[in-house]
Structure 1
């Protein structure tokens, strides 16, 4: 993956800023809008001017999507990993409870009822405590993602009548999921914070890419066949996704 210089378009008096990410695997241009701004993926052999022209044609849509995120207040405040904060697991809220424990070597989060309990050393500084809790939460989420994601991918594979794909849980801040040319699905561990309906949407989307790598008519027909309400789920993920990124 390579990234070109940044670009800026004026559309209706508003600036649309983006960088072009290039990959040899892509055959078409893909444009998305999320908590991190506008993302443009393009084939490695397509020149910048043609890509920019495609983005310009999507200008009205891009501004509507960006306005939606502005209405949501952009991104949520970065968590401080202290008692009282709320974190999500499969769409359900859990209240974080940081407890002092002289026997704690590395903070290990456990789910108890509607709480995440994280023990930390009493003599640790506030900065060290926050780092330990953050690391423990990430470990907990990744562990549970590894348990749930392959099982759900197998369900989608059965619906599509394909061999269950290899699923890898990865750390990527700009994408919920991807599928490579070999049919290996990579899923962002943060997705485990979302409701299962949205987890299933992302996995279904990537499973359809096992059949068709591009967003062709065949791809959308396959996705609609196994998930008729995929558009509503995609919109909901757009609205909620910023809550799950830290």
Structure 2
């Protein structure tokens, strides 16, 4: 990432970025990622024009930055090979890759503290990793579909509301969301976290059924159902990046 040379302030928050020039572009492109804000601009466009465009996109950039902060730091680069550690409900499991001539499809099974991944013996390393990655994603999603509704039922009872519909989704930048109809969408990666952190995300989204925005009423509702929610937020911030692959 190029060293930031520009700063723009929005409501007390700063957007830091450098302008990267290229002859291959005719318009300005703004990308937000784990490594910051990247601004690509045509080589013949002056800085003032570029800054004006970034300023107009400021609210969008801040929303993107907030979404990435929700998941914590930079995702861990996974190799999907035997011996790697993966988590489920906060507990560590060691990946065990087993060559199996009958394993037409790789399916993960848990045995003790191991996640068993059978693969065909003649697969290339690249195809083997792809098969294991896909199998792990399916396994985690299936577990999330089992666990999340159970936890949502308990939290809904505490709040005194009907259990909301729960959807397990693939969201790379958010742990959860709640729409205007009270439907809660939860990132399947959250099932890697301890139950206390899963409960926090569900409680946060369930409170949005009572109050859509982050008003005082919202935070009072969350504190009622979860007095230690602030410590759980900090814990999720600390751990979250390790689940983002």
1:50 and 1:219 map into 2 onto residues whose CA distance is 30
Where structure 1 has 5 or more consecutive residues not aligned to the other structure, the ranges are 1-7, 18-33, 39-47, 57-61
2:113 aligned residue: 114
Listed as ranges, the matches of 1:183-222 within 5 Å are: 183-222=182-221
Larger Rg over CA atoms: 2
Larger RCO, structure (CA 8 Å, separation 6 or more): 2
1:22 aligned residue: none
Question: Does residue 9 of structure 1 match 2:7?
Answer: yes
Change (3 A) 1:213 1:240: same
The answer to whether the 8 Å contact 2:8/2:55 transfers is no
1:52 and 1:128 map into 2 onto residues whose CA distance is 41
Listed as ranges, the matches of 1:137-148 within 5 Å are: 137-148=136-147
CA RMSD, 1 decimal = 2.9
Task: Tell me the alpha carbon deviations over residues 3-59 of structure 1, each in whole angstroms, 9 at most, x when there is no partner.
Answer: xxxxx73469x8536xxxxxxxxxxxxxxxx95769xxxxxxxxx969948x99xxx
Listed as ranges, the matches of 1:70-85 within 5 Å are: 74-85=73-84
TM-score, with structure 1 as normaliser: 0.74
2:211 and 2:98 map into 1 onto residues whose CA distance is 49
State the secondary structure of the residue aligned to 1:81: coil
Matched length: 201
State the secondary structure of the residue aligned to 1:16: strand
State the secondary structure of the residue aligned to 2:149: helix
1:165 aligned residue: 164
Q: Which runs of 4+ in 1 moved over 3 A?
A: 8-12, 14-17, 34-38, 48-53
Offset at residue 148 of structure 1 (A): 0.5
State the secondary structure of the residue aligned to 2:182: coil
